[in-house]
Amino acid sequence: MAWGSAAAVLLVVTSAGTASAGRSTTTVTNGTHHDHTLGASVYEVSYDPKDVPPGHPLTAVGGWTPPACWMAPVATPDELKDERESTWASESTGYVWDAEQRDYYVNGHPHKDFEIANADKGMWWNGRPNPNRLADPASLSCFKERDDWVLNGDEPPAGPAVTPEILAQSAYDRIRIPDKVVSLSPDAAIPQTVNAPTWAWLDSADIQPVSVTARLRSLNIWATTTATPVGLRLDAGTPDAELHPASGNCPIGKDGSVGEKYVTGDGNRTPPCGLTYLRSSGQGTYALTATVTWKVSWRGSGGTGGDLAEGDFDTQQDVHVREYQAVNH
C-alpha cells in the first residue's frame, strides 16, 4: 500500500498513522537517521501520558484550535521502495497509476531509484493527521498523491510542517482539566439568603498545573505543553447580585488556592471571593457559573518555547435564593 495514494490516506486515518509494520527500528539523533529502515512507530507522534487522562478539555479563548494535520517524514528510501514495489507487484492500482509512480520515484522524473543513493541525506515526507482529530475531515487535507523528497535541514513542502511548536499544539488537544466544582458556603444544595454573602473557593490541590509531552522520534523533536490556572471568574446568573471582588475575577493565591474557605465566625466578613444575591430566585434558581482560566505555555527541543491560547473551563451550579425570614416568638 503506497503512502501517497488515496487508499493510504484511509489507512492512516483508520489506524492512527500506522501505515507499515515489521520494519527494523533505529536510533535517531539530531534529526538524522542512521539506518535505512525505521519502525512505523517513529513516524507517529507519541504522548506522555500515553492515554488521555480523565477530566475536561480546555476551551481555547478566541476559538483557536490545534492544526488538523501537518507535513512530516513518512519513509526512508528503502522503506518507500519496499512499500511501492509490493503495491505494484499486487497489480491492484492499475497500469497507468503504477507507470506514473515509477516515472516519479524510479525513472528520474524527477527522482531516481527512490533516492536510495541519498538515503543518509533526507527522507520522504507527506501529510500526517493530528492523531487527536481523526474525526475532523480537515485531517485529510495535508495528504498528497506523491511523497516529497526533503533533504535534511531543508524546508519541507508547503503546508504546516511538523515542528516542536506543532507538537505543542497537538499536546494542547490532550490537556484535561480536573472536573472540580468551586466550593460554596452555604453549599449550593442549601438555599442561599438574600443579602447574605456566599463564599467561593478552590483548594490548591483542586487546580494543579497539567502537562502533556508530545514526541516525534523520526526527527528527534519534542514539546511539553503545560496549562497553569491563573484565575477564577464568577457569574451570578442574574444582575441582581454583588460580586466579590466587584469584577468577579478572583486571583490565584501564592499557595495556588483561590479565595478562602469559610469558617465559623466569618459571617460578618466580605468574602475575598464570592457573591451576594440581592433578590430571591422565587420558585426557580440562578445559574452560578465559575470559570477557571488557564495560561498555556510550552517548551521544546532545541531551546524552543512560547505561549499558546489561554483556555477556559466552566462549571455551573443551580442555586436557589430566598428572602430572609425572621422568626417571631
pLDDT in tens, 235-246: 999 999 999 999
Q: Are the CB atoms for 202 and 182 separated by under 8 Å? A: yes
Give CA separation, 185 vs 83, 196, 225, 283, in Å. Answer: 65, 11, 35, 21
Whose CA is closest to 74, among 110, 26, 136, 20? Answer: 20
What pLDDT score was predicted for residue 76? 96
Sign of the Cα torsion 202, 205, 299, 125 reads negative
Sign of the Cα torsion 182, 187, 189, 193 reads negative
Q: Which residue type sits at 110?
A: P
Q: Are the CB atoms for 225 and 302 separated by under 8 Å? A: no
Tens-digit pLDDT profile for residues 13-65: 323 332 322 222 333 333 333 344 555 689 999 999 999 999 999 999 999 99
What pLDDT score was predicted for residue 40? 60
Residues forming a β-bridge with 32: 29
Tens-digit pLDDT profile for residues 159-200: 789 999 999 999 999 999 988 899 999 999 999 999 999 999
Q: Is the pLDDT of residue 128 over 90?
A: yes
The CA distance from 153 to 151, in Å, is 6
Tens-digit pLDDT profile for residues 197-229: 999 999 999 899 999 999 999 999 999 999 999
Whose CA is closest to 223, among 74, 26, 70? Answer: 70
Mean pLDDT of 63-76: 96
Q: Are the CB atoms for 127 and 69 separated by under 8 Å? A: yes
Q: Are the CB atoms for 143 and 102 separated by under 8 Å? A: no
Q: Are the CB atoms for 6 and 92 separated by under 8 Å? A: no
Residues forming a β-bridge with 322: 193
Three-class DSSP category at 182: coil
Non-local (6+) Cβ contacts of 255 within 8 A are 204
Q: How far is CA 114 from the centre of its chain?
A: 35
Tens-digit pLDDT profile for residues 73-116: 999 999 999 999 999 999 999 999 999 999 999 999 999 999 99
Q: Is the pLDDT of residue 321 over 90?
A: yes
Give 100 or 329, the one with higher predicted confidence. 100
Q: Are the CB atoms for 45 and 174 separated by under 8 Å? A: no
Non-local (6+) Cβ contacts of 284 within 8 A are 320
DSSP letter, residue 139? G
Three-class DSSP category at 101: helix
pTM over the 0.75 mark: yes
What pLDDT score was predicted for residue 87? 93
What pLDDT score was predicted for residue 266? 76
